[in-house]
Amino acid sequence: MSDSLQTLTDEALHALEQCADDDSLQAWKVKYLGQKGVVRDLMNKIASLPVEERKPYGLAVNGFKEALSHAYEARLQALQDAKLARDLEEGALDITMPGRPRQVGGLHPSTQTLRQIYAIWADMGFQVYKSRDVEDDDTNFTLLNIPPHHPARDMQDTFYTTEPNIILRTHTSPGQIRAMRDLGQGGTQPIRVILPGMCYRYEQITPRSEVQFHQVEGLVIGRNIRMSDLKGTITAFARRMFGEQAAVRFRASYFPFTEPSMEIDVECFLCDGQGCRICKHSGWLEIAGSGMVHPTVLRNGGYDPTQWSGFAFGMGPERMTILKHGIEDIRYFWANDIRFLEQF
């Protein structure tokens, strides 16, 4: 019996060596190790043998099966290794070449401008105060001296929610109320903060207007704060942001939450004040609105306007980025167009 098994083993191993691909290897496995293969036939013969021959016969068949199984696994691994070697030799992959560099993203242009603004105001002693995007109508309007039916509400088209009195903030100015109440400790402590964040207005999207945009609000509360402090602070910021030689101009304006109010212009740094398309040939670029905090707003924030005063300002990072780089369409900021973003 051992001679016949040895002969069968030699035949099986020789056939295995002839297997050159997955299909032939699978066919060999079915023939010898499958449910109806040679090994199964040999095992089925055990029951027909005399009792004294069954054990040595079973051991011999198990040895035969193990030898074929080990040989099959070795042949399978050899074919896989050979296929991998062929792929490396014949394919486009050269493992000796350096890998492709990973494409690294960059900061959004708005984020770059915001970080520059943060750094300048931090050097001037301002801390960052984050306020909420979803506001109540009272904080967004009424407490800022814009009561119901006030004409100033028409200046800001508002996103209203299904919850009564809950809106998406139209400006970062409601953060003034929250900062005064949170940091002022009952109207007893001075404040010097900037309040950056996203604002939302229900407007038609055009090259010059969007439904969302960043603002950076500024708020200073203290004793004996004057308009001259506001002018000096804004001038220092403008020269850090746009160059030491930047000229600053102040124009009277109106905001319900400041009195007096003014717009702030910087001399056009693209044409050196000579007049160009970006500055509409005026030689000046508007960068912010500002003013002295209205006594009503101070009172709503917890301060006594007879003892405390302050100034506030609001500026748009996207507008500054547009001015600095001559961008013609504000929609580029939110379009996720890689051709635009890669320029920054």
Measured in Å, how far apart are the chain's first and last C-alpha atoms? 82
Q: Which residues contact 242 (CB under 8 A, 6 or more apart)?
A: 266, 269, 324
pLDDT (0 to 100) of residue 190: 96
- Rounded Cα distance between 143 and 181, Å, is 12
Following CA atoms 159, 164, 169, 171 in sequence, which dihedral angle do they give, to the nearest 10 degrees?
A: 100
Residue 339, both tokens: 């051709």
- Which pLDDT value is given to residue 2? 61
Q: Is 157 helix (H, G, I), strand (E, B) or coil?
A: coil
> What is the structure's pLDDT at 4?
78
Q: Quote the tokens at residue 54.
A: 């069954």
- E strands in 144-257: 159-160, 166-168, 191-200, 212-222, 248-255
pLDDT for 130: 93
Centroid of chain to Cα 91: 38
Q: What is the pLDDT of residue 49?
A: 80
Which pLDDT value is given to residue 78? 86
Q: Are 266 and 284 in contact (CB under 8 A)?
A: yes
In sequence order, which ranges of the chain are alpha helices (DSSP H)? 2-17, 22-33, 38-44, 51-90, 109-123, 137-140, 174-183, 227-242, 295-300, 317-325, 338-341
Q: What residues does 195 pair with on adjacent strands?
A: 217
Distances (CA, A) of 48 to 44, 53, 258: 8, 10, 108
Q: Which residue positions in the chain have pLDDT lower than 50?
A: 1
In this structure, which topology does domain 109-341 adopt according to CATH?
A: BirA Bifunctional Protein; domain 2 (3.30.930)
Dihedral (Cα; 136, 137, 142, 144), 10-degree rounding: 60
**227 vs 248, 267, 303, 316, CA distance in Å?**
15, 21, 18, 21
Tell me what pLDDT residue 279 has: 74
Name the helix (H) or strand (E) containing 135: strand 134-136
Cα→Cα distances 278→102, 272, 286, Å: 37, 12, 11
